[in-house]
C-alpha cells in the first residue's frame, strides 16, 4: 500500500481532477470515473446548482423522493413529500395518515416562533457597572445593526429582545448577550449570525471608547457570536384524539390496545434506553420531510434532543393518555425552519416538495414536520404493542434483501408472493431462493 501524503489545494482542482486523484490514491478501477459520471444530471444548469451546494462535489448521491398522502391537518387533506432510504418509514407515515384521516385527523398549535443567538464574551470589570450602562449599550446595538435588520423588520420580523447575562459559573468573567429574533418565513441562520457578529463589534467598540471605564476595563474579548439550535421559544404542539372504544371495531380490543399504547409511551418518558429509540422513530418522520423541503434536519434533531432533556432527564418527546373516555397522543417540540432562501428555493426537488405542500408558511411547515414525527411514532409504537416491529419492518426490507442477493425478476416475484403471508428474515429469503433457483 502506498504511503499517503497531505494533498494541498485539493478544492482548487476541477471535478475530473479530483476523481482522478481519488482513483490514483486508492487504486480504484478506472471504471469508477464512468460510474460517478453516470449519476450526474444531463441538465447542465440543474447539475451546476446541485454541485454548488457542497464542496469537492464528485457526483450525486441519490435517495428516493416519495410521498405519503391522506394527512388530514386541521380539517384539510395534505400529501407529504419525503426523502428517505427506509421504505418502512414512508409506509408507516402513509398508514398513520390513513388511519387518523378517518378519526378526525391531526390538530395543531403554534406555541411560538422565537429564535435565539448569543454573543459570548469575557470582561474583567465590575458586572454591576456593565449592567448600569446596558440600556445605553442596547440602544447602540440596535442603531448599528439597523442596516442588517431593515428588510427583516419590514417583513414583520427582526430583533425582539436583547439581554445581558453574567455567568461566572461557566467561566471566570464570562458574559453573554442573549438575543431573541423573529425571522418570519426564513430559517434565518445567516441573518442571525450577521446581527450577532455586528453586536460583538459594537459592544467591543463601545467599551473601548467609553470614558467612564478605566484602562483595565477597556479589554473586552469576544469569544464567539453564533445562533443557537436550541429554540424552545419556537415550538409547536400537534395531537390526535378519539374515543377509546372507537379505535378498533372491537371495543374491548380497542381498550386493551389504548392501555398498552399509553404504557409504552409512559416507559419512553421515564427510561432513557427506550426514550432514545422512541425519539429516533419520531425523527424518522421529521427528517424525511425536512430533507425533502431542503431544511436542516441536523439542527432540528439537535434542538429536539436537547428539548427532550430540558428538565434534567432525557425523555421521550411524545405523550399519550386516556381522559374522559378519549385516547389522545401528542407531540410538542421546538422547530426552526424556513420556506424562503437557501436550499428550499434552490434545489429543484425541494421546490417541488414545497409545491406539493401548497407553498406553506414557516409556521405551517413547523406543524407538518411535527405531524410527520407524530405519525411515524404512532405507527412504530402501535406495531410494538401489537404485532411487533419486525413483521412489518422486514416485509418492507424484502426488496433490499432481494437486490442485495442480485436475483432475477422471476425470483423477486416468486419471493414476494411467498413472503406475502410469512415473516421475513435474510436467512429465510436465502433458503427460499436456494430451493427456488429458477
Which residues fall within 8 angstroms of residue 134, CB to CB, at 6 or more apart? 164
pLDDT digits (tens, 9 = 90+) for 100-127: 999 999 999 999 999 999 999 999 999 9
User: According to the model, what pLDDT value does residue 116 have?
Assistant: 97
pLDDT digits (tens, 9 = 90+) for 73-90: 999 999 999 999 988 999
Lookup: cell for 394: 422486514
Q: What are 176's strand-pairing partners? A: 120, 165
More confident residue, 420 or 138: 138
pLDDT digits (tens, 9 = 90+) for 48-73: 999 999 999 999 999 999 999 999 99
Lookup: cell for 228: 443557537
User: According to the model, what pLDDT value does residue 435 have?
Assistant: 78
> Could you give the CA distance from residue 422 to residue 394 in angstroms, rounded to a whole number?
10
- Residue whose C-alpha cell reads 446581527 in the numeric block: 195
Phi-psi region of 184 (alpha: psi -120 to 50; beta: other; left: phi over 0): left
Q: Where are the beta strands (DSSP E) in 146-284?
A: 158-166, 174-182, 220-228, 235-243
- Residue from 364, 151, 335, 343 nearest 233 by CA: 335
> Could you give the CA distance from residue 335 to residue 147 in angstroms, rounded to a whole number?
27
Q: Using the predicted structure, report yes or no on whether residue 28 has a pLDDT greater than 80.
A: yes
> Could you give the CA distance from residue 8 to residue 2 in angstroms, rounded to a whole number?
18
pTM for the model: 0.89
Q: Using the predicted structure, report yes or no on whether residue 438 has a pLDDT greater than 60.
A: no
More confident residue, 399 or 333: 333
Lookup: cell for 355: 409545491
Side-chain-facing half-sphere of 413: CA atoms under 13 Å: 4
> Could you give the CA distance from residue 436 to residue 232 in angstroms, rounded to a whole number?
56
H helices present in 102-241, as ranges: 127-154, 189-209
Segment 230-251 mean pLDDT:
96
Lookup: cell for 53: 451546494
**Pairing relation of β-strands 326-334 and 318-323?**
antiparallel
Contact 240, 72 (CB under 8 A): no
DSSP 389-412: HHHHHHHHTHHHHHHHTT--HHHH
Amino acid at each position: 500500500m502506498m504511503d499517503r501524503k497531505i494533498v494541498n489545494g485539493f478544492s482548487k482542482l476541477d471535478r475530473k481532477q479530483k476523481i482522478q486523484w481519488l482513483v490514483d490514491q486508492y487504486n480504484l478501477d478506472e471504471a469508477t470515473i464512468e460510474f460517478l459520471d453516470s449519476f450526474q444530471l444531463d441538465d447542465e444548469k440543474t447539475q451546476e446548482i446541485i454541485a454548488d451546494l457542497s464542496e469537492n462535489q464528485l457526483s450525486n448521491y441519490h435517495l428516493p423522493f416519495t410521498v405519503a398522502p391522506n394527512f388530514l391537518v386541521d380539517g384539510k387533506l395534505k400529501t407529504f413529500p419525503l426523502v428517505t432510504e427506509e421504505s418502512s418509514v414512508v409506509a408507516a407515515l402513509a398508514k398513520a395518515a390513513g388511519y387518523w384521516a378517518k378519526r378526525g385527523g391531526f390538530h395543531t398549535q403554534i406555541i411560538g416562533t422565537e429564535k435565539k443567538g448569543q454573543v459570548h464574551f469575557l470582561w474583567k470589570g465590575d458586572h454591576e457597572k456593565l449592567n448600569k450602562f446596558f440600556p445605553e449599550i442596547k440602544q447602540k446595538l440596535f442603531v448599528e445593526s439597523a442596516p442588517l435588520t431593515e428588510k427583516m423588520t419590514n417583513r414583520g420580523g427582526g430583533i425582539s429582545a436583547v439581554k445581558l447575562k453574567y455567568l461566572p459559573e461557566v467561566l471566570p468573567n464570562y458574559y453573554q448577550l442573549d438575543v431573541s429574533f423573529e425571522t418570519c418565513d426564513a430559517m434565518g441562520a445567516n441573518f442571525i449570525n450577521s446581527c450577532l457578529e455586528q453586536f460583538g463589534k459594537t459592544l467591543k467598540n463601545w467599551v473601548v471608547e467609553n470614558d467612564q471605564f478605566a484602562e483595565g476595563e477597556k479589554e473586552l474579548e469576544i469569544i464567539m457570536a453564533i445562533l443557537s439550535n436550541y429554540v424552545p421559544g419556537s415550538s409547536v404542539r400537534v395531537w390526535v384524539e378519539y374515543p377509546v372504544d372507537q379505535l378498533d371495531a372491537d371495543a374491548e380490543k380497542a381498550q386493551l390496545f389504548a392501555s398498552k399504547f399509553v404504557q409504552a409511551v409512559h416507559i419512553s418518558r421515564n427510561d432513557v434506553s427506550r426514550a432514545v429509540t422512541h425519539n429516533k422513530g419520531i425523527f424518522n418522520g421529521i427528517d424525511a420531510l425536512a430533507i425533502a423541503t431542503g431544511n436542516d434536519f441536523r439542527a432540528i434533531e439537535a434542538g429536539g434532543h436537547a428539548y427532550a432533556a430540558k428538565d434534567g432527564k432525557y425523555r421521550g418527546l411524545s405523550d399519550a393518555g386516556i381522559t374522559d373516555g378519549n385516547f389522545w397522543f401528542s407531540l410538542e417540540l421546538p422547530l426552526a425552519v424556513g420556506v424562503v432562501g437557501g436550499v428550499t428555493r434552490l434545489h429543484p426537488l425541494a421546490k417541488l416538495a414545497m409545491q406539493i405542500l401548497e407553498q406553506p408558511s414557516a409556521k405551517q411547515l413547523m406543524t407538518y414536520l411535527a405531524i410527520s414525527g407524530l405519525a411515524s411514532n404512532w405507527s412504530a409504537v402501535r406495531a410494538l404493542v401489537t404485532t411487533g416491529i419486525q413483521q412489518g419492518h422486514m416485509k418492507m426490507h424484502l426488496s433490499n434483501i432481494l437486490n442485495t442477493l442480485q436475483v432475477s425478476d422471476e425470483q423477486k416475484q416468486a419471493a414476494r408472493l411467498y413472503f406475502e403471508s410469512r415473516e421475513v428474515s435474510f436467512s429465510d429469503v436465502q433458503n427460499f431462493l436456494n430451493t427456488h433457483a429458477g
